[in-house]
Structure 1
Amino acid sequence: MTRALSTQPAITAGSLASSPQPVLPAAGGLLLRPWGGGDVQGFLSAYRDADIRRWHTRRPSTEAQVREWFDAYSRDWQQEKGGHWAVTRDGGEMVGRIALRCLDFDDGVADVAYWVLPAARGAGVATRAVATLTDWALDEVGFHRLQLDHSTRNAASCAVATKSGYLLEGTKRSAAVHDDGRHDMHLHARIRGDDPGLPLTGGA
């Protein structure tokens, strides 16, 4: 049943699905592009990395499962549920992943998620990818609020969020299950109009 709104939706339904998922150039020679068949083995290998496994309990174990995920990613775009990109060097070598999930067109809210391969860490890859996706989602698509969360024990992800202009709004207690048990989660958000250059802190 369609929900009746007293206000206009922040984003018009069909505005994403009416066009192919875009390729987004980022600083430092990075390119965000949709996942393809040539990425299957690299994507599967990424989830064998200890750090990626530590923070992601949902992970593929076979190439067939990766292909199923990629098919689901395509459906997410067509159904306007999400967008999933490979973070690459000039469209070739895959160095990470970034996604826009849980799209709420009525309120203009979405979630951001990301990881980076070990060889690309410490070089600002995640920060540049998050900045690029954020600018596109806020300025071009019309989202009002983007949010992301991570374990309070994941200092690297916290640093990426802060450097990308995402305000630390607070802690969600015992909000996610990891392999070693439940974790508190930091909640960060970026609102259209925020100055990403300012050092943002807040909430506890």
Structure 2
Amino acid sequence: MFKTSLGDGAELRPLTPDLAEEFIANVDRGREFIGRHVGFADAVADLDAARRILETYAEKAAADTGRIWGVWLDDVLVGGVLFRTMDFNMETAEAGCWLEPAAVGKGLVTRAVTAIIDWAVEVRGIHRVEWRTSTRNAPSIAVAERLAMTREGVARDSYIHRGERLDMEVWAVLAPEWRAARRP
């Protein structure tokens, strides 16, 4: 996994199990905000749960089936991006993100997801990157739009969050589209 500058004092780094305390602190600072749309805000209930989630992603990284990175702003973990799934036989990946409220509006998610999509497409040979988000999550939809993804449809009642069934928009970008959009 790589680390890279996102500019303006921000850095993208691997989020590993030894960083569970930083991870839980990040989630605690934004738990309700993050949890409006992201299920793991409820799953990261304590330090042990935070460590288990990061261990799961370490196992996914070792198996080459997923990845997770943190976004640090001025050396404080403020959110992260991930490939929830990666399938190299099908050349697909599903990206996601979270961010605490104090870091919103700085372009961090768009820059971080751009970095991981660049890596997935150019280094790892991924052909299709998906982005799934609740139809109610306007900021996440805006990220998909900024990433030049195509809205492919709505998976109705496909996600249960806090006891409620939600419709999920499916967005995706294909490697040739990604490269074309990234050309100056």
Classify the TM-score, shorter chain.
Answer: 0.7 to 0.9
SS state of the match for residue 190, structure 1?
A: strand
Gaps of 5+ in 1: 1-20, 199-204
Q: How many percent of aligned residue pairs carry the same amino acid?
A: 29
Return structure 1 stretches of 4+ with deviation > 4 angstroms: none
CA contact 2:38–2:98 (8 Å) conserved in 1 = no
1:113-124 correspondence to structure 2 within 5 Å: 113-124=96-107
1:161-180 correspondence to structure 2 within 5 Å: 161-179=144-162
Query: TM-score, structure 2 length as denominator?
Result: 0.87
Of 188-197 and 139-148, the range deviating more from structure 2: 188-197
Which of the numbers 61, 66, 78 marks the counterpart of 2:62? 78
State the shift of 1:40 in Å.
2.5
Q: Deviations over 1:12-66 (max 9, x none)?
A: xxxxxxxxx2223334443211124664234224434212112123321110111
CA–CA distance in structure 1, aligned partners of residues 87 and 16 of structure 2: 26
1:1-204 correspondence to structure 2 within 5 Å: 21-36=1-16, 39-48=19-28, 49-58=31-40, 59-89=43-73, 92-179=75-162, 181-194=164-177, 195-196=180-181
CA–CA distance in structure 2, aligned partners of residues 70 and 95 of structure 1: 16
Corresponding residue for 1:11?
none
Query: TM-score, structure 1 length as denominator?
Result: 0.79
CA contact 1:47–1:53 (8 Å) conserved in 2 = no
Q: Deviations over 1:67-107 (max 9, x none)?
A: 122222211111111111111136x2212111012211112
CA–CA distance in structure 2, aligned partners of residues 47 and 166 of structure 1: 27
Q: Deviations over 1:134-164 (max 9, x none)?
A: 1111111110000010000000110011111
CA contact 2:6–2:108 (8 Å) conserved in 1 = no
SS state of the match for residue 153, structure 1?
A: coil
Letter in 2 for 1:72: T
CA contact 2:17–2:55 (8 Å) conserved in 1 = no
CA contact 1:46–1:52 (8 Å) conserved in 2 = no
CA–CA distance in structure 2, aligned partners of residues 55 and 64 of structure 1: 22
SS state of the match for residue 136, structure 2?
A: coil
How many residues in Structure 1 have an aligned counterpart in Structure 2?
177
Q: Which has the higher strand share?
A: 2
State the shift of 1:192 in Å.
0.7
CA–CA distance in structure 2, aligned partners of residues 30 and 131 of structure 1: 14
Q: Which has the higher helix share?
A: 2
Work out which of the two has the higher radius of gyration on C-alpha atoms and give 1 or 2: 1
SS state of the match for residue 196, structure 1?
A: helix
Gaps of 5+ in 2: none
Letter in 2 for 1:65: A
Q: Deviations over 1:89-126 (max 9, x none)?
A: 36x22121110122111121010010111110011111
- Alpha-carbon RMSD across the aligned residues, in angstroms, is 2.0
State the shift of 1:180 in Å.
5.0
CA–CA distance in structure 2, aligned partners of residues 104 and 60 of structure 1: 25
